[in-house]
Amino acid sequence: MAQQNSTLTTDLTQIGQANLSGDKRALYLKLFSGEMFKGFQHNAIARDLVMKRTLKNGKSLQFIYTGRTKAEYHTPGNAILGNTDGAPPVAEKTITVDDLLISSAFVYDLDETLSHYDLRSEISRKIGYALAEKYDRLTFRAIARGARAASPVSATGFEEPGGTQIRVGASNNDSDAFSSSALVAAFYDAAAAMDEKGVSSDGRCAVLNPRQYYELIQAVGSNGLVNRDAQGTALQGGNGIIEIAGIHVYKSMNIPFLGKYGTKYGGNTGQADPGNTGDFIGPALEDASGASAGINNDYGTASEFGSKSAGLIFQKEAAGVVEAIGPQVQVTSGDVSVIYQGDVILGRLAMGADYINPAAAVELYVGSTAPSAF
């Protein structure tokens, strides 16, 4: 019996080791990294919908915006030295990286030992969610700001299109934001506006509040959606909407919506609070101007955003994101872990966002007056 126990101990598989040698926890740390990235990627939708650039050896990145030029008739004998008006005009947009964004947790060794579930994996997903939430909120705020802005090209004698704001519905009630027919009409208006401003049809998308999104799905048989024949689980699972007027539709809890993030209940919204939602659902917009700690771009204050924004429609050139440090994970080890008998698990990200081409940004709003530019 003693010999049998000895054999079991010798042949024990250390599933956390790499190639049966070294640190018994090495692979667990890699598992955590993967979980953090998975949590981030599954929740950050803005990253793939706008222009993203990686920044190295600098604090900001320059985006060049070129205005339009014209065609002229040539006069025989005249030298061709460029258009007489000096076109095209060129402007720039500079996006600066905000301070390091982090989300961390301390995992005590004893708690991890006594826990009957995978503690690190669960914490890692929540860290990924936190980073993704901030990433999306800042990017969507930048797009909304662009929809209220004039073109960066301001040379005398040249006119370039700026952003677009489209009213949803005809009343002064917030409930217009949830009207399927009013939303569809706004989508077609937005598509026409972008066409008229020369914005490419490639990469057009919209981000709506979840209740707006599902309202469209419920009326999919009568509101003119391209895929109105979608049926069954595809429709009920939230995948029923493909596009409206060539605009792909997404849902997010991170767009500025009626002065909050995600959703708003009560008042004249027509939406009843389902109960037990807590502060997580529909938190108020925070101040995120350049004067706020850690922020080097201007994402606006809560008052500047107001309470009437009701969705975003944009093309990928509407905004840009620069990343100096992509989503990463760091975990303490060695002497630090021994001293504190646990590990600090850290997710980090260094990014900044701002609008680039206002003509490619459309903000939906409710009420008689469009939100002001800032």
The per-residue pLDDT for range 226-277, each reduced to its tens digit, is 554 455 554 445 454 678 898 999 999 999 999 999 888 888 999 988 888 8
- Mean pLDDT calculated for residue range 159-179: 94
Query: DSSP alpha helices (H): ranges in the chain?
Result: 2-10, 26-43, 109-114, 119-147, 180-196, 210-218, 232-234, 302-305, 334-340
Containing domain of residue 139, as a range?
27-66+89-365
CB neighbour list of residue 290: distance below 8 Å, 6 or more residues apart: 296, 297, 298
Nearest CA to 180 out of 260, 261, 254, 240 is that of 240
Lowest mean pLDDT among 26-40, 55-69, 343-357: 26-40
- pLDDT value at 320 more than 90: yes
Q: Total structural domains in the chain?
A: 1
Tell me whether residue 168 is in a domain: yes
Structure tokens at 358: 């206002």
Q: How many residues does the chain have?
A: 374
Tell me whether residue 75 is in a domain: no
Confidence of residue 8 (pLDDT cuts 50, 70, 90): very low
Tell me whether residue 284 is in a domain: yes
Tell me whether residue 333 is in a domain: yes
pLDDT digits (tens, 9 = 90+) for 182-233: 999 999 999 999 999 999 999 999 999 999 998 888 776 666 565 544 555 5
d(CA 351, CA 135): 8
- CATH number of the domain residue 111 falls in: 3.90.1690
Tell me whether residue 283 is in a domain: yes
Tell me whether residue 79 is in a domain: no
- Mean pLDDT calculated for residue range 53-75: 85
Tell me whether residue 6 is in a domain: no
- Mean pLDDT calculated for residue range 107-129: 80
pTM of the model: 0.84
Tell me whether residue 83 is in a domain: no
CB neighbour list of residue 151: distance below 8 Å, 6 or more residues apart: 65, 67, 91, 160, 161, 162, 358, 359
